[in-house]
Chain A
Amino acid sequence: MAEKYRFISPLGIEDEVDTLPLAPRLDKLDGKTIHISVTGEPDLTIFLERQLRAAYPQVNWTSKKSYTPTPVRLTEEEMKTTDAVILAVSW
């Protein structure tokens, strides 16, 4: 019978992650403040923002832009008055 061995794991060690549910969705759009977080080059986002604003005029749109992949975060105060966030585009 062939000899048996134990093999050391070469894998990195990961922490356990507590996973959360999604935040409740919006029950309506009228009067809601939706923030558009733009990251990266404007191959899509200029048109996406323009068309969202045109198609949903009942929404109060806000936006912040970064030309890098790191988004400009909402401040604590802004988060209190923001109902939803769209981020585009993730690399």
Chain B
Amino acid sequence: MGQLPYLCDLEAAGIPTMLVDYADQDLMVKSNALKFGVPGLRFVSASRTLPGPEDAARLIQPVMDGLTRPLTDKEKESGTYRPNNQRIIFEGTMEDAEAFFAQTQIVKHPMMNCPIALYTDGLPVVLPTEERVEKMLKGTSHKPDEILTLQKDGRQGKKGSEVVFLPKLRIASVERIAANAVMAGCKPEHLPVVLAIAESGVGVGTTVFFSQWACVSGPIVKELGMNAGVGTIGPGSPVNSPIGRTYQLMAINIGGAVPGINRMNSVGSPFNVGGVCFAEYAEGLPPGWKGLNEEYGYRKDESVVLAGQATGGIFGAQFSPGGYRSLQRSGHGGMARRADVKGTPGPHNWLDYLIPSLWSGREGGFVFVMVPEMAKHLYDLGFKTKDDVYNYLYEKSKVPLSEYRNRSWPDESTNGWLGIEGTSGKHWKELPDDYMVPMMSTPSQNCIVVTGSEEEVCLQIGGGRYIPSPHELDRWGATAYSIDAWR
């Protein structure tokens, strides 16, 4: 987030600093301070629970002490941090390697008292022998020692830039990505999808409810035999599951993400347990609705993967499938009463049932995962393109400024209400109470994925779609990467 690089720059410039963090973030501060070249950075830990005045009174003396207490000999040292970048991580028998890859560490976090896996997601892995990795590499034309670079201009930078993996700002060779794919149980033909996901940098975020997912679009869905039907976001597929798992293994091994040190999601997320990769059901798109590949400027015969980092909630099953059918087929039931269409068969706009609750607590776009029948109902109602739906959601999301002020995240996204409101170009404080504020920067922060089966279910994944030049708090949405570029 820029705090540690800033302080390390100041120390390097000869300006002494003191950082106040929260006690549970101490290990992250130490880890990042080393990464940015000032491992001795001084900090004190604030409480998350003491009343503010009491905590401040407790902290001012140690803060000033940190600025004035003479340096120790260790704090005066300079040196070099030399990470172990050896290509071969272990040599030995399979039995010994199983023990090696099953190693754990104890994270000295105040609210953790358990081992955390060093090289895995906590589950057994396929051991990445040189032979297995070599076989995996047959799934791509890219050379094993090639360092991953962006195949197209994108959120991380220009085409050709090295892909940087947070949180430890590492890079990766194609071979190291392949080693993770082996460990997750992938086959060589899955590797281009894995490499495309890797191009995203497999971010994990630090705090709040970060959830990672990937969704494949294009002919490779059928080519690989992905599950784009019942339970596409779920276990059982020998294609979806290992590819999704590789996302998490790459985050752990390539990025260096460790709970309690630099992956601070307080409660974690179910999406990140086994890893999530699902698939678009292109045949289920209504006429005129673009697939994800076409939405991102690729052709229908090109394959892409959408790599998403959801920052908000994941909402599903707000209505019963039977209730939905009653709304659409006979105009009966609670949904029909709410829509005031009692007794009139559909199609009716089911989005209106969701909208009041979608942005009740959090702003931003959503990824709307919906089954083909529900997409068809929207089409029949007159939404002839996905953009029609995105625009509708954008307009319907608006609330009066008087209401918008009473929300949590806008304190940050408006920079304490000192910034400029996006739709008016005016300062927030100049706008009247009845000014209608949308819940997202642009309509296209919403994203529709048609997939799944016949039962009338939809899922909304917070975070939506990444857009260029977002506000700092909007920068985590989903982005598409070409799979064909990694074949």
Contacts and interface: CB of A to CB of B under 8 A. Distances in A.
Interface stretch (B372-380, B386-394, B410-418, B448-456): B410-418
Interface string B85-104: 11111111111010011000
Interface residues of A, number: 63
- If over half of B's interface residues share one DSSP class (helix, strand or loop), that class is named, otherwise mixed; here it is mixed
Nearest to B59: A48
Contacts of B64: 29, 52, 56
B415 to A, nearest CB: 5
Contact of A88 (B46, B171, B183, B473): B46
B68 A29 contact: yes
Interface stretch (B107-115, B247-255, B359-367): B247-255
Interface string B242-283: 000000010001111000000010000000000000000000
Q: Is the interface of A mostly helix, strand, loop or mixed?
A: loop
Interface of B: 1-4, 6-8, 10-22, 25, 29, 34-43, 46, 52-53, 55-57, 59-60, 63-64, 67-71, 75-95, 97, 100-101, 119, 127-131, 133, 147, 165, 168-173, 175-176, 178-180, 182-183, 206-207, 249, 253-256, 264, 411-412, 414-416, 418, 472-473
Closest 4 CB pairs of A and B: A12-B170, A69-B1, A88-B20, A9-B89
Contacts of A14: 83, 85, 168-170
Given A11-B254, A87-B6, A26 B16 contact: yes
Contacts of A12: 165, 168, 170-172, 176, 253-256
Contacts, number: 278
A79 B412 contact: no
Contact of A18 (B17, B78, B93, B173): B78
Given A6-B88, A23-B17, A90 B3 contact: yes
A88 B62 CA distance: 13
Interface of A: 2-29, 34, 37, 39-41, 43-44, 46-48, 50-52, 55-56, 65-71, 73-74, 79, 82-91
